[in-house]
Structure 1
Amino acid sequence: MQIYKVGGAVRDRLLGKPVTDIDWVVVGASTEEMLAKGYRPVGADFPVFLHPKSGEEYALARTERKSGRGYGGFTFHASPEVTLEEDLIRRDLTINAMAEDDHGQLTDPYHGQRDLEARLLRHVSPAFAEDPLRVLRVARFAARYAGLGFTVAPETLELMRQLSESGELEALTAERSWKEISRALMEDQPQVFIQVLRDCGALKVLIPEIDALFGVPQPEVHHPEIDSGVHTLSVLEQTALHKQPLTVRWACLLHDLGKGLTPESQWPKHIAHEHKGLKLIKAVNERFKAPRDCQELALLVGEYHTHGHRALELKPSTLLELLQSFDVYRRPQRFEEFIKACEMDARGRKGLEQRSYPQADYLRGAATAARTVAVQPLLEQGFKGPELGEALKRERLKALKSYKAQTLT
């Protein structure tokens, strides 16, 4: 019985990056031996055990064989006869197919260390093409390590292209897809994730609404980068540079989907793209079963981001309607995330990344002005029910008119 550290822990140590999660593989052991040593079984599909003291996961070395469609379409075989090399060959990338024993001795049968030095994301074997989830995983690793100069090996990109064209991606569950997408959006360069998916043809299968933005022009006066798809990637890049949460990153990814519906005859204008895009945003939200906070912010940003950019021009009554739409009195954080998304949208334009965004503080001030209107005086005047609501609205409008007059004159 031999125990090896495998996968990401080995990869990140060699890269000089912090090691957070450690995966262990046990070679030459049976389920009975693991139980006898006090390990607790947890794997339903294949033998995985929890260490009796540390609680870390230890998996028996195993082989796998394709038996159906999608991520779960595999049968596994684990026995004491399965070698370390056989276990490693079923992994996705060479840089994830290295092992290390307790003496620090490296086992690297598929040249992962060489690919680390060459900054290449390369598949281990042709079996890579049997698992559609690996298309998303490789794109995610590309986003994570782009800053270190990593790229996807051409032959691996070709296999990803074949997978994208095979129909296998459609067998992925919403839950598995969302797990990879959400993790990728939180990487240092999430725009690389989307670009790699597009390069291998997976984007038009998984999120055709985003793929449709590429090649769609916008007015150069507002968008020096012109291309709507390029703009979306730039906005996503800004969300990472400014350490935005997942909700903001997801909303920014989907904010301009309506531009993909504009007839060519109307290019480069996109009249009412905000409203037209809502049905597409809703469809993407539902396809991946995104968490509710992500869904809600994406729809609100899609509908109102132009209002955010025009904040200084908005009439107090329109400003009040905007605040009401966000339920800013009970959910102030959601409005703050909207402001952040608008700012990322404004910065995601070629040559305008560093420009100031005075709309942000103006909108925050407007929200504060509306929230400071007290209810108690209105109750003391005898207002109640619907009449109280209308009176509160009038007072808030009055406060916003005063705020605008004081701020912009």
Structure 2
Amino acid sequence: MGLVRLFIKDCDNVTDPAVRERYGILSGTVGIALNLLLSAGKLFAGLMTGSISITADAFNNLSDAGSSVVTLVGFKLAGQKADDGHPFGHGRMEYLAGLLVSLMILLVGVELGRSSIGKILHPEAVDFSLVSTGILAASILVKLWMGQFNRGLGRKIGSAAMAATAADSLSDAVATAAVLAGTLVNRFAHVNIDGWVGLAVAVFILRSGWGAAKDTINPLLGESPDPELVKQLRDLVLSHPQVVGMHDLIIHDYGPGRRLCSFHAEVPQDADILDAHDAIDHIEREIKEKFGIETTVHMDPIATADEKVNQLRRQVADLARVVEPEMTIHDFRVVRGPTHTNVIFDAVVPHKCRLTDEEVLQRLRRAVSALDPTYQAVIQIDRAYVE
């Protein structure tokens, strides 16, 4: 990563939008320069030999140069500071840039497939040239380097857009290798497979484009957070003795380095409120420092000293897991009256549960009543934001 150290100041501070912008500019500039050179070389080779697959590969590199422009502009826009109209910044422009790159990959694949089918139906002779062979071989090496370069940048800053660019470069290397193999087969085995090679390359490009598109669409739609991140957050929160539980964790992604989260922290109802509040403030600062996530915590007081309530809570939690193995409960409390006892709690149901909310309610109510006919379950159904 010598180029990174040379051109990007403070390159290890990857949570800084300005640093991320410089990574994007470097990736885009390198991509534009190399792809234009490769496109010119392959176009020359394609016109000289009359090969549809080489010519198509040249236009593929030209579209890659356009993709690099999109990447560069996307990172430039994503680096803009928050304003009145966009209080969470413009970080999602990076995802949009990755999506546009993916769409360009798919368009190239479709066009290459169309041209290749035409060449299969109406084959034409292809001339062999050592110059064109050398250009293709050099192109493979350049694209392999570009793939590793962008993959390294993408991993360094956690960028889906750069991951899409890296996937594009590696698919180009495979595509060009297939074109080179077809050229050699035509020269030494005298079998014209130019159209078939072009079609195989098109399928590979389409598959790569679709995979890259999914990686950028998911964060735009609002994907479930990384389970490892969720575990680390839980471990951090519960490492504070003032907190006995947490629930309703929500993580919003407004672009790389721009995440917000909120959750409810359960504290004993008889705890010192100032001590508990100080612990909550400390947790918010810790999450910001360790994960770069702005956090808002709601404090929930719960009864922990009443052993009968604790035992009933454990029983109801077990009943909930019988209904759905990954269901959890929180905000549990018991209100006793002269004729019946209200057992009040929230049930968190995973999205993959096939039962409707009403079916979950009915099953939980029957299960609680089976413990004691005087128990009446008052239940709020929540759908899980993290799995």
Give the TM-score normalised by structure 1: 0.23
Greater relative contact order (Cα 8 A, min sep 6): structure 1 or 2? 2
Give the TM-score normalised by structure 2: 0.24
Comparing both structures, which one devotes a greater share of its residues to strand?
2
The structure with the larger Rg is 2
